[in-house]
Structure 1
């Protein structure tokens, strides 16, 4: 899905529901002690089966909205959130369960909790790490329609105001909708709709769970907020693999300051319905929980204490090698998906007018490059086409080259398209910007390269 436009939905009531069988037992993992990190706060949910949470650490959100805040939590979701152990409970096996339930009248209840602490932010010159080991509801297909689990953070100034979103900042560490094997990570900021952060979409990226799906097993979801360098950065990881970054230079200084110059609180919830996943249907399964093994917050004095050696380092791209599109350093408006192209892996997709992907530190060397080639596919409708443009150092700079793309026979029907570029040497930030006269998605990109 590409949009998350906020809508209003009909409120429903709460009904008494009995707890059914717990999810299959799983082995609890201890809260990790990663090298180079100091533990700030954690919860490993090791209470007796059927018990609630420690309210010195957690706040239960109740109803359909914050008091005086936007209806249906501002997202159009329809479940009434409760503090009942029918919806939010420890399962006796070291997990928190947040379980959406439907009663005989078709009304939904679920759970939404947030940390009492709202001061989570990195020290000046330091790094904050927020991590959870989570299994999203183990349901797919029609049975997952409208189910929207999330692990995320909101800026402390939101508390008591409730109308200053997205300016105060929202950091989504994990979102998943409708039982797909895809993880979304996003920074929301600025103004809505539109604005510097492309709301209501935000500055987001996505990836897929490997080895086992997001639904069938636990995976580790992590966000690092780094203030140790000259440019402040947010980084997102799935099972230790970096898949998305946002730098403070991606937006103007005021927008970044408003979104990040304060603490944050952590939220776990399972929404039902909403403008992004759509409403549940009669086929949507009731009673399948999201399981959370632990949530932990760490701090470090600076840098990336445990970089993943399998992930290409940001800002280190050889212009004359094959640059995988999904290894961008930042993006706006696109997502990643598994590709059927030769070599496998992932491609960047859902690219439409105004979207872009950014690659830092692309080294063209001393001999000028004058050709650009990209591996693209398109399933765009009749009459829909656009340009894949190369821009240097500023997303709004004049293109140094481009080529046009229309329907290639399908979104996984790949071809390599060359184009001339202005002679280019040295090291640059490279933007692939997508421009079209129509608003529809028009191209997927698997990889690109330059040549002399």
Structure 2
């Protein structure tokens, strides 16, 4: 179910390596920056709605508890060039924030495409985060045009649950249940996070080989590779294309409860200590 290559297909070296300089998306040797949001703006405002759809309502998925709100209480710029998605307990209910990018991109044949975000989590003790489920991920844009999940394709760059210092990278594809991607679980791998502070999460599509079977998707945390999938492992060109050759869009959200993490308990705390904070989201292409 889980795959990891014996070695990274290439070494990526940032020209701007320090976290302090990364509030602006870093430059990388051999890549051009194509799209970025650095979440500029005063404290307590909604992020740029030219870039993002800010969800408002309960999606009714995964048995999650939260209702997403288009409100600065749940979705706000910090005033320090970051985005804060904040879950709140509202009596017996929960609210939270979710953004979906209006921007879409398609990894180009013959090139490497990279997407990444710099993310940290609120400082609540890990034992007070039962049921909190933040994520940075992508969906195939075809879901907006009638293709059902998971046939649209899904790439989870980062998920973590219950405050655990474990990051999950996963693909979802094909038909439900079972299939090539073992739905609903997906095909994934994990990495140990050093702490809840800033980590850089990246996914790279390598479409340079010229044969879809040799193309690859690779996941990194802070330049450390932790998941790798090749086209010949999926072994279905149509399914592979849904992950590598069709338009994709970004999602940032903090879910609460659901089938995977379970539900909040009496120790679960809400507010900024339970938030996900994002310094930038960026997409690059090789020259």
State the TM-score bracket (shorter-chain normalisation).
Answer: 0.7 to 0.9
Q: Distance in 2 between matches of 1:140 and 1:277?
A: 17
Contact 2:107 2:245 in 1 (8 A): no
Q: Distance in 1 between matches of 2:67 and 2:136?
A: 18
Q: Deviations over 1:323-377 (max 9, x none)?
A: xxxxxxxxxxxxxxxxxxxxxxxxxxxxxxxxxxxxxxxxxxxxxxxxxxxxxxx
Q: How does 1:25-104 map to 2 (within 5 A)?
A: 29-65=23-59, 72=60, 74-103=61-90
Corresponding residue of 2:223: 240
Higher relative helix content:
2
TM-score, normalised via structure 2 length: 0.88
Corresponding residue of 1:183: 167
SS of the residue 2:117 aligns to: strand
Q: CA RMSD in A?
A: 1.7
Corresponding residue of 1:223: 203
Q: Distance in 2 between matches of 1:291 and 1:194?
A: 34
**Does residue 1:152 correspond to 2:137, yes or no?**
yes
Higher RCO (Cα < 8 Å, 6 or more apart): 2
SS of the residue 2:127 aligns to: helix
Unpaired segments ≥5 residues, structure 2? 3-18
Closer, same or farther: CA 294–170 of 1 in aligned 2, 3 Å: same
Rg comparison, structure with higher value: 1
Corresponding residue of 2:103: 117
TM-score, normalised via structure 1 length: 0.56
Corresponding residue of 1:192: 176
Contact 1:153 1:265 in 2 (8 A): yes
Q: Deviations over 1:153-187 (max 9, x none)?
A: 000100143x6111111000000000011000011
Counterpart pick for 1:293 among 273, 279, 282: 279
SS of the residue 2:227 aligns to: strand
Measure how far apart 1:39 and its partner are. Answer: 0.6
Q: Deviations over 1:9-32 (max 9, x none)?
A: xxxxxxxxxxxxxxxxx9562210
Q: Distance in 2 between matches of 1:39 and 1:261?
A: 19
Q: Distance in 2 between matches of 1:298 and 1:262?
A: 16
Contact 1:169 1:260 in 2 (8 A): no
Corresponding residue of 1:404: none
Unpaired segments ≥5 residues, structure 1? 3-25, 66-71, 302-452
Contact 2:117 2:200 in 1 (8 A): yes
Q: Deviations over 1:84-140 (max 9, x none)?
A: 00000011111100000012x22110000011012x122110111000000023334
- The range that moved more, 253-262 or 173-182, is 253-262
SS of the residue 2:103 aligns to: coil
Moved over 4 A (4+): none
Q: Distance in 2 between matches of 1:140 and 1:248?
A: 40
Contact 1:168 1:260 in 2 (8 A): no
